[in-house]
Chain A
């Protein structure tokens, strides 16, 4: 009799255990689902925001194109037609830049862009890029300077690195007012190299510092300050991540914005500066 009771109790315990385990699992599952739902909502919201921005950035030139072409068609003036076609071509080029940048961005973010890592002389590459941009900076009455530690070698993709800094410089040239200074500093920092691109321009408000890396984010909410694809900093972030690095923006001691890019370079790959 006792044996039967015991088995019954054991069976009940077992069932209770299973039920408890099942309940716990279910709760965990529900928590997980809730978390996923929240993430999904936030992704959807941010992608909706992105979608709105993409639509805006493509619709604006489309609106201009349409108005321009319709206007030309109402007139029978070959000189005017020619001028219209030239503007149409410029507008197509702008849209092409946006589409190309979006494509590069989605390839980078999806991880399908193959990275060709080789040992890159980062010091040399940065000197070269400064040399490439100095005349354009001077043309805008800007001073572009580099303080680059010698012999920084990293394992990375030279074209991706160059695109990162070209985008950062394009951005600086656009936003730092005439008379300003842009400074690039590069140094080895433990297992990383740290490269800062900073300026004495108007800077970036604290609440915008994460947002500026989002697609089509611009400090100016009316989005009228155009030129460029509006994707430069998103590309910087995506390319930095492809190279296992990261980028952030802080306030510069010069008074403006400081973009800080950190890239991995194992100690063995950062050779000692020559004495």
Chain B
């Protein structure tokens, strides 16, 4: 079972987070302040840490920095209530792997935890040159995509979008994750820009084929997978 440590001082928030993550199949341990969080992280063999920045006593960034200084490489997701561009940069600089602003949607946090865990699992398998999902194939060297042997013509951005979806196949990705990773924008526009790009991509990869691969998960985001 995948083990998560959540360092979060708001007990109500930590409690619902723990319930949600337990229902998603994770074993969850809680710590309510920085010092105890640091001790639990050092003592345990967690697969991922979720660390709130604003903690009583020792703040989250200093906890993470201490852990990184000890050579611990466990992936860490940082939670912040501030949401300045600065905090994100600072959080990633001290060794955070991803950053979510409070108040977050549980689904957003879950999707990002899954993406981080997957990144760790695929680490070390060497650079890929080919991505495949059912009869959809992406050649990263020749920058070409085929489905059922049929060439699909994609714009450069559509290629990056599909590449990200294929690297996270079988997993929900949110609009914010797509904006951050495909377009490198760290804010959410008020217009449904991502949805429209997705529907264009869907036209290209799904329209003339019997089984759709790109699915909308209502209220959560998108998922690329062979079954509906």
Residues from chain A with a CB closer than 8 A to the CB of B25 are none
Measured in the bound complex, the distance between the Cα atoms of B193 and A169 in whole Å is 11
Q: Is B190 an interface residue (CB 8 A)?
A: yes
Interface locus among A23-31, A126-134, A212-220 = A126-134
* A135 touching B193 in the complex, CB below 8 Å, given contacts A159-B186, A159-B187: yes
Measured in the bound complex, the distance between the Cα atoms of B155 and A188 in whole Å is 29
Q: Is B13 an interface residue (CB 8 A)?
A: no
Residue in chain A with minimal CB distance to B86: A114
CB atoms of B193 and A113 under 8 A apart: no
Q: Is A39 an interface residue (CB 8 A)?
A: no
Chain B residues with a Cβ under 8 A of chain A:
83-86, 89, 101, 103, 157, 183, 185-187, 189-193, 196-197, 199-200
Measured in the bound complex, the distance between the Cα atoms of B199 and A55 in whole Å is 38
Measured in the bound complex, the distance between the Cα atoms of B189 and A136 in whole Å is 12
CB atoms of B193 and A103 under 8 A apart: no
In the complex, besides A162-B187, A173-B191, A232-B190, 10 extra interface pairs with C-beta distance below 8 angstroms are A128-B183, A132-B197, A133-B191, A133-B193, A135-B199, A136-B192, A163-B187, A166-B187, A167-B190, A174-B190
Q: List 12 A-B contacts (CB under 8 A).
A: A103-B83, A104-B83, A113-B85, A135-B193, A136-B191, A159-B185, A162-B187, A163-B187, A166-B187, A166-B189, A170-B191, A232-B190
Residue from the list A100, A116, A139, A169 in contact with B83, Cβ < 8 A:
A100
A89-124 interface (Cβ within 8 A of B): 96-97, 100, 103-104, 107, 113-114, 116
Residue in chain B with minimal CB distance to A90: B219
Residue in chain A with minimal CB distance to B198: A135
CB atoms of B193 and A136 under 8 A apart: yes
Q: Is A151 an interface residue (CB 8 A)?
A: no
* A135 touching B200 in the complex, CB below 8 Å, given contacts A162-B185, A232-B190: yes
Residue from the list A157, A159, A228 in contact with B190, Cβ < 8 A:
A228
Residues from chain B with a CB closer than 8 A to the CB of A135 are 193, 196-197, 199-200
CB atoms of B191 and A159 under 8 A apart: no
Residue from the list A113, A136, A232 in contact with B196, Cβ < 8 A:
A136
Measured in the bound complex, the distance between the Cα atoms of B89 and A3 in whole Å is 78
Measured in the bound complex, the distance between the Cα atoms of B86 and A174 in whole Å is 30
Measured in the bound complex, the distance between the Cα atoms of B190 and A163 in whole Å is 11
Chain A interfacial residues counted at CB < 8 A:
31
Tell me the dominant secondary structure on chain A's binding face. helix
Q: Is A84 an interface residue (CB 8 A)?
A: no
CB atoms of A96 and B196 under 8 A apart: no
Measured in the bound complex, the distance between the Cα atoms of B104 and A96 in whole Å is 10
Measured in the bound complex, the distance between the Cα atoms of B103 and A120 in whole Å is 31
A132-185 interface (Cβ within 8 A of B): 132-133, 135-136, 139, 157, 159-160, 162-163, 166-167, 169-170, 173-174
Residue in chain A with minimal CB distance to B188: A97
Residues from chain B with a CB closer than 8 A to the CB of A157 are 85
Shortest distance between the CB of B218 and any CB in chain A (Å): 10
Residue from the list A100, A114, A131 in contact with B85, Cβ < 8 A:
A114
Residues from chain B with a CB closer than 8 A to the CB of A131 are 157
Residues from chain B with a CB closer than 8 A to the CB of A50 are none
Report the 9 A-B pairs with minimum CB-CB distance, sorted nearest first: A135-B196, A170-B190, A166-B189, A228-B190, A136-B196, A114-B86, A170-B191, A136-B191, A136-B193
Measured in the bound complex, the distance between the Cα atoms of B220 and A221 in whole Å is 35
CB atoms of B185 and A166 under 8 A apart: yes
The contact string, 1 if C-beta is below 8 Å from chain B, for chain A 216-249, is: 0000000000011100100000000000000000
Residues from chain A with a CB closer than 8 A to the CB of B101 are 100
CB atoms of A107 and B187 under 8 A apart: no
* A132 touching B183 in the complex, CB below 8 Å, given contacts A166-B189, A173-B191: yes
Residue from the list B84, B185, B189 in contact with A170, Cβ < 8 A:
B189
Residues from chain A with a CB closer than 8 A to the CB of B85 are 113-114, 116, 157, 159-160
Shortest distance between the CB of A128 and any CB in chain B (Å): 7
